[in-house]
Amino acid sequence: MKLYILLIMTITCAWTTEQIFVSCEGNFGENNGSLWYLFEEQTIEYSGNPIGDVVQSIYIHENNLYVIVNGSNNIQVFNINEDSLTPIQLIDTDLSGPREMIIYHDFLYFTNWYTKDVKKINLLTWEIEASIATPGLPEDIIFHDGLLYVSITMNEDLSDGNKVVSIDPNNDSIIDEYEVGPGPGNLLVHDDEIYVSRTYYDENWNVFYGTSKINLDGTILIANYGTSTSSCGGGVYSYQNEVYRLYDGGVARLDDELQIMPETRIGNFNSWEVYSAEVIGEYIYFGLSDYASPDEVAIVNNGGDEVNRYEVGALPGDFAAWSSCISNGDINNDAMLNILDIVLIVENIITHMTFDCHADMNSDDMLTILDIIILVDLILD
């Protein structure tokens, strides 16, 4: 009975704290890019703001927050605590024009406009170990089925690009190219297929929008929406097992032919004020901007109701969620400790899967044989 009570207390208390981080780009050339986090109905400004010129993107891995500051050409790394951020590393990218990033195993891959490549940082040494040349200016980067996929948003002459390339991280080389239509930007993996949001221009700088999809068999579906300002912009999102596109001051679902379904729109803001959006859990976060500080983040539920609004810095452009975690061994989250959890820890260690804090039984930020031994002893006790 004593052990049973201990296990129930441990499992039910697994997730203790959640924070939503918001990066605000700031105005170009004004060095007013900033970080904010939303915590327990509060807006908290990072004490070290401003952090540089144009905060492009943020990414969370384990208990670290990675921040690309495009205009300042650096990547800043912070350790996340329950009530603060602690800077631990600043990586100079040597005027590369960094954009978006992802972590695979012990390496951070990030796209760069000025050097037209994807660079690779060893997270154990903080050194840039490789550069993978791309056929144009790369934008977004995602991981799917053992490969990295990168959108090429512009060609070297700054005309609209039309490709997504795949990179094998085992040898850091491009192995395939997909022509997805002009202006590829944000990428999304959904049901083993890759969705691509597109924004492109004609010779008079009229803006056009579209979405493409790389099917499982490598074929490509392309949809174009025209030049209406209400059509869409920005990203493509997975929400409640459906794919949505930014549309007319909200997000709207795409049908099987990638056409926008206006009647499914969630969010009812002015189209010109929606600067960004992100799906986190059951909610959609909208970055609202008039291009001057302060701006706002509005949170909307699946019924389209606004449930909260926060004041942040200029041009909220990216979001990331972090949850603190107590190690409890319940890897498959079924409220039981058994052989299935042991199998999952072993698989994680062998295949170098994404770090799972529930499996870190001795809380040393590593998954090793010691974690397996501790979990086995707990189960057999």
pLDDT attached to residue 1: 36
Domain closes at, from 324, 341, 362: 324
Q: For residue 241, tell me if it sits in a domain.
A: yes
**Domain check: are 115 and 261 in the same one?**
yes
- Please say if the pLDDT value at position 129 is more than 60: yes
- Is 318 or 325 the better-scoring residue by pLDDT? 318
3-state secondary structure the chain: CHHHHHHHHHHHCCEEEEEEEEEECCCCCCCCEEEEEEECCEEEECCCCCCECCEEEEEEECCEEEEEECCCCEEEEEEECCCCEEEEEEEECCCCCEEEEEEECCEEEEEECCCCEEEEEECCCCEEEEEEECCCEEEEEEEECCEEEEEEEECCCCCEEEEEEEEECCCCEEEEEEECCCCEEEEEEECCEEEEEEEEECCCCCEEEEEEEECCCCCEEEEEEECCCCCCCCCEEEECCEEEEEECCEEEEECCCCCECHHHCECCCCCCCEEEEEEECCEEEEEECCCCCCEEEEEECCCCCEEEEEEECCCEEEEEEEEEECCCCCCCCCCCCCHHHHHHHHHHHHHCCCCCHHHCCCCCCCCCHHHHHHHHHHHHC
Closest CA to 80 of 70, 97, 67, 95: 67
| % of the chain at pLDDT higher than 90 | 73
Structural domain count of the chain: 2
pLDDT attached to residue 250: 95
- Two tokens, residue 219: 């074929």
**Domain check: are 341 and 298 in the same one?**
no
**Domain check: are 30 and 80 in the same one?**
yes
Domain closes at, from 288, 303, 324: 324
**Domain check: are 331 and 304 in the same one?**
no
CA–CA separation, 155 and 347 (whole Å): 41
The least confident of 33-37, 87-91, 205-209 is: 205-209
Q: For residue 3, tell me if it sits in a domain.
A: no
**Domain check: are 107 and 201 in the same one?**
yes
| Residues 6 or more apart whose Cβ sits within 8 Å of residue 19 | 37, 38, 39, 80, 82, 321, 322, 323
- Find the domain containing 346 and state its range: 327-380
Question: For the whole model, what pTM was predicted?
Answer: 0.84
**294: exposed, middle or buried (Cβ count in 10 Å: 0-12, 13-18, 19+):** middle
Over residues 331-353, the pLDDT tens digits come to 776 777 888 888 888 888 886 66
Q: For residue 114, tell me if it sits in a domain.
A: yes
**Domain check: are 248 and 304 in the same one?**
yes
Q: For residue 260, tell me if it sits in a domain.
A: yes
Kindly list the distances between the CA atom of residue 210 and the CA atoms of 163, 190, 317, in Å, as whole numbers in the listed order: 14, 17, 20
User: Which CATH number goes with the domain that contains 332?
Assistant: 1.10.1330
Work out the average pLDDT over 119-148: 97
In this structure, which amino acid lies at residue 310? Y
Residue 2: φ, ψ to 5°: -60, -45
**Domain check: are 230 and 208 in the same one?**
yes
Domain closes at, from 304, 324, 344: 324
| Residues 6 or more apart whose Cβ sits within 8 Å of residue 378 | 7, 329, 337, 361
Work out the average pLDDT over 197-216: 93
Highest mean pLDDT among 72-86, 217-231, 357-371: 72-86
Confidence of residue 326 (pLDDT cuts 50, 70, 90): low
**Domain check: are 281 and 375 in the same one?**
no
pLDDT attached to residue 233: 67
User: Which CATH number goes with the domain that contains 126?
Assistant: 2.130.10.10
CA–CA separation, 205 and 43 (whole Å): 38
| Residues 6 or more apart whose Cβ sits within 8 Å of residue 301 | 282, 283, 284, 307
Over residues 74-105, the pLDDT tens digits come to 999 999 987 789 999 999 999 999 999 999 98
pLDDT attached to residue 153: 97
Residue 340: φ, ψ to 5°: -65, -40
pLDDT attached to residue 72: 97
**Domain check: are 163 and 276 in the same one?**
yes
